[in-house]
Structure formats: structure tokens, C-alpha cells
Structure 1
Amino acid sequence: MGTDDLPETLAGLLAGIHRLLRRNLRHGLEEPHLRGAEVELLRLVRANPGIGVSAAARELHLAGNSVSTLVNQLTKRGLLRRETGQDRRSACLTLTPEAESRLTRWQQRRIALVAEQLDSLPEQDRAALEAAIPALRRFAEGLEANLDER
């Protein structure tokens, strides 16, 4: 593969891996699955309990009304709590115990799935993936910085 093919190959491979992880993780789930944006919002609220809708929208690089719609949907499904903030105009978001439990189960299943696949690879491939992590992290940081500049 030449460097001219790298952007398309990398983008396709990353998207494919993400899609395959989601499909594998959804298999056998009895509860209704969560869409990607819903999981992102729940993970953000988990990491930042009490975050407001506007701040969540900025963090997720989504429109405020999109996040508000997600919040309404997740609140109706019993996964998010929206509490009135100190100034009575803002909402503070927190996870419900059900959401916490679902995220924990999802994370455990995801880690187990990835570990299983890594264990099935030859040592040379595992070492190559481990060596690529710093570069992939910088790649992700560059994409994040690109969003922040817009």
C-alpha cells in the first residue's frame, strides 16, 4: 500500500472496526440498543456528572437542539435524569442507576471482545497494534483540534 492509499484505507478500516464492534456487542442483547450519539452522551454525563445540555452539545460538537432531543429521549427511557440547575434556567444531567449499569456491562463486553480478538492474533500483530497506539492517539487529538477550530 502506498501513502496515497493510506487516508482511504485507514478511514475505511477504522469505520469498519467500529461498525463490527457495535454489531458484535449488540448480538445477544435483550434490552433495546442505544444509538451511537446516545451512548456518547451517556458516557459524557458519566464522566461529567451535572453537565448541562449546552456544555454537552459543545463537548459532543452537536447542535444544542440535537442534544436536547437526545436528553428528552433518554430521560423518557429512564436512563438520564434532568435536574434544575442553580439558576433555574439550566438543566444538570446525571445518569440513572439503569444507565450506569448498562454502560458498565457494555464496557465490560467491549473490553472482553477486544481482548479475545487480540489474544487470537500472533504476538507480532499485537506488538504492532500496541506500537501504533501513540500515533492513533495523536491522530484522534488532531481530529479533535480540527473540530475545535471550526
Structure 2
Amino acid sequence: MTAPGKPTLPQLADELPRVVWTLHRLLRQKQETPAGEHPRPPAQVELLRLVESEPGISVREVAETLRMQANNVSTLVSQLVKAGYLDRRPHPDDRRIVQLYPTEKMHATSVEIAKGLSAGVTEALEQLSPQARKRLAAALPDLAELGQVLARPS
């Protein structure tokens, strides 16, 4: 990088994914598995988060959103239904389409994981200066917008 806090566009494009990947890896390491559960593979976690945010989403829509093959999504869905995290329901207007819904078990597990993760992040944020926390908070809308731009079809 050039001057601290003043990277060029190519430097920012190189550094941002590194920082985000490191944060992602560390957050996954901090994430506690709920009592009596086994850690879920990242693909299952992504699918669960998507269904939680979009109840009623179809397998095809999951595959498109996560950029996965439909047969791989179907396999993941079967595993998660068997584990009690997802519920499959036929679409009311087209019974050929299966919609996915989170179960109570999934909601309870999600809340437990979120509380633990939030506590860990809060503890880390408390170790930062107020100025650093303010800069992070100010960057959140821009990071969310960057995520939306990256999610657009190429």
C-alpha cells in the first residue's frame, strides 16, 4: 500500500479480499457449535443462512443464488431435512416446485450461534479504540453496498 489509509484502487482491490477472508476465517473459528450438534460444512451453513433470510425459496433459486449445481443443492437439502433444520413444502400454485423453510430447530440453533458470535465480536471490538470502532461502523454501509454490487450477475 501507499500512504496508510490511502491505498490505490488496485491495492484496495487486492487488500480488501485478504482482510475479509481473514475475518471470515477467524469468525468461523470463534463460532461455537451448539451443544449436541456437529459442525456444519460451509456449504450447508450458506444454504441455511439463505433459507433463513428467504423462507420459501426454491432449490433452483438456492442453486442460482449460491452459484451451485442444483443436484449438489438437492443433496445438501436432503441432509439438512434429515438433520431437522429444513422443511420441504410443495409450492401452493405449482406442486412440482419445492419450497424450503427453516424449522424451529434451525431457528433455535441460529439464535444460539448468533449470540455466541456476537459476544466474541463484542469482546474483540471492546479492545479497539473508540475511533477504530467508529471507522468500522462508518464502513458498514459501504461494505454492504459492495456486497450488493458483487452479487449482481456479471
Residue 119 of structure 1: CA displacement? 1.4
Superposed, 1:1-150 pairs within 5 Å as: 1-2=1-2, 3=8, 4-26=10-32, 30-86=36-92, 87-145=94-152, 148-149=153-154
- Structure 2 spans left out of the alignment, 5+ residues: 3-7
- Structure 1 spans left out of the alignment, 5+ residues: none
| 8 Å contact from structure 2 (residues 91, 98) kept in 1 | yes
Equivalent AA in structure 1 for residue 24 of structure 2: H
TM-score normalised per structure 2: 0.84
Residue 50 of structure 1: CA displacement? 2.1
Aligned to 1:82, the other structure's residue is in SS state strand
Equivalent AA in structure 1 for residue 67 of structure 2: H
Work out the CA distance in 2 between the residues paired with 1:8 and 1:30. 40
Q: CA-atom RMSD, angstroms?
A: 1.9
Which consecutive segments of 4 or more residues in structure 1 shift more than 4 A? 27-30
Aligned to 1:92, the other structure's residue is in SS state strand
Segment drifting more, 65-74 vs 79-88: 79-88
1:21-70 Cα distance to aligned partner (Å, 9 max, x none) = 00111378551011222122112222222221112222223221221111
How many residues were matched structurally? 147
Work out the CA distance in 1 between the residues paired with 2:56 and 2:33. 32
Residue in 1 that maps onto 2:5: none
1:58-115 Cα distance to aligned partner (Å, 9 max, x none) = 2223221221111011112121111233333221211221111111111122222212
Work out the CA distance in 1 between the residues paired with 2:70 and 2:121. 33
TM-score normalised per structure 1: 0.86
Cα distance change, pair 122–110 in 1 and its aligned pair in 2 (3 A): same
Q: Which has the higher helix share?
A: 1
Equivalent AA in structure 1 for residue 136 of structure 2: L
